[in-house]
Amino acid sequence: MDLFEKLQKDRGPLGRLSKVAQGYFMFPKLEGEIGSRMKFMNRERIVWSLNNYLGLANHPEVRKADAEGAQEWGLAYPMGARMMSGESDLHLKLEKELAAFAGKDDAMLLNFGYQGMISIIDSILGRHDVVVYDSESHACIVDGLRMHPGKRFVFAHNDMESFEKMLNHATDVVEKTKGGILVITEGVFGMAGDMGSLKEICTYKDKYKFRLLVDDAHGFGTMGKTGAGTGEEQGVQDQIDIYFSTFAKSMASIGAFVAANSDVIEFLKYNMRSQIFAKSLPMPLVIGNLKRLELLRTKPELKNRLWEVVNKLQSGLKKLGLNIGKTNSPVTPVYLQAGLQETANLVFDIRENYGIFCSVVLYPVIPKGQVMLRLIPTAAHTDKDVEDTLNAFEAISEKLKDGTYSKVKYVDVEALAGGSLAVI
């Protein structure tokens, strides 16, 4: 069989929907200034799908720093990978400030979060080492583990009985291989919004010999007294051996970082292939991220406002009797029971008739027969945004209960209308 013929026959669980989903349900275009209200299909919507937690994307000081950085340096500087020709004082300054804020000895800048996590795992693990990881770990963790030549054991999400069982399996293996054990979990799980059980995991450190890697993409800037993350929130930041986060969430930028003791960071700098063989982070991004980190540290009112919005939205959804799961972070999932046709009708209705844009999550991300409407509150949202959204969710939940979305057909998911959404 020709390779491309295979791709035509099996487009994958999401790809099979491309002809009815492209441009509307998947790959939608949000236009205008980044904020709580943007344009979709030429109409204003209240947007709950941007990870702009602290509202920094269009903060005037951030826009100024970004513009001045680009004006002074352009996008090319520094040229080359950092090991060869891409080092600068400002790269080192940002790393030093990130390390101090995260409570670690040193830090290393990464070009992208997804790529960075994969490469961290690939760099530090050998075939004799064993990984124990949470079953709901992000795709970047799972993809990194696919490259690991040694054993790996997955424990049930935040289940400490399952965790200890997997630790025992891992210990049995390394007693024979003479390798080490790495535990990987997340600070805040980006879909369900619940925190990882970091404090509980750390209680096993005395009994079992392992190192802990935490992906805190959604916790950095949103959790903890100072915003230093989920480890700070749970009082165990000092027990996290490798702390990772991205600039794509609270910092509203591009890039990521990893923080740890100096020996670990030095090892990564000389062994992390995705950085050794990639161009250095462009200077305007470094300058912009220095400004973002400054605002994150010095303006607690941004995080305070975020949590005002979070609490109003989440308490309002609960009062409506909607299921938001076990979230204890800004990430706000709303779980509904609906089939594919009902889901398409519901999402079309809430976007077109109520002006609410939020992400819709289906199988294989969540179990079949369920739909998750995922809302990301930000400091940029207003009380009116929350009020209008709660009114919309009250209306669509009633329609779902009375079977409206089973009877009407706003969207025909069976009609393959030339590669675009078939709206009736």
pLDDT for 290-340, tens place per residue? 999 999 999 999 999 999 999 999 999 999 999 999 999 999 999 999 888
Q: Locate 84 and state its tokens.
A: 């060869």
Residues of each domain in the chain carrying CATH 3.90.1150.10: 3-53+300-407
Nearest to 201 by CA among 177, 180, 184, 216: 184
pTM beyond 0.75:
yes
Token pair recorded at residue 109: 């800048």
Q: For residue 244, what are the β-bridge partners?
A: 215, 258
Neighbours of 172 (CB within 10 A): 12
Which residues of the chain, if any, have pLDDT below 70? Answer: 413-424
Nearest to 86 by CA among 290, 285, 289, 282: 282
Residues comprising the chain, all counted: 424
**Boundaries of CATH 3.40.640.10 in the chain?**
60-298
| Whole-number Å distance between alpha carbons of 78 and 89 | 11
Two structure tokens written together for 52: 């702009």
Hey, how many other C-beta atoms are within 10 angstroms of the C-beta on 352? 16
Which spans in 213-272 are helix H? Answer: 230-234, 262-271
Residue 128 DSSP label: T
Q: Does domain 60-298 have CATH number 3.40.640.10?
A: yes
Closest to 166 in 3D by CA, of 210, 118, 105, 199: 210
Which element (helix H / strand E) includes 370?
A: strand 370-375
- Give CA separation, 273 vs 211, 244, 328, in Å: 22, 17, 36
CATH number of 3-53+300-407: 3.90.1150.10
* Pair of tokens at residue 73: 């340096």
pLDDT at 20: 72
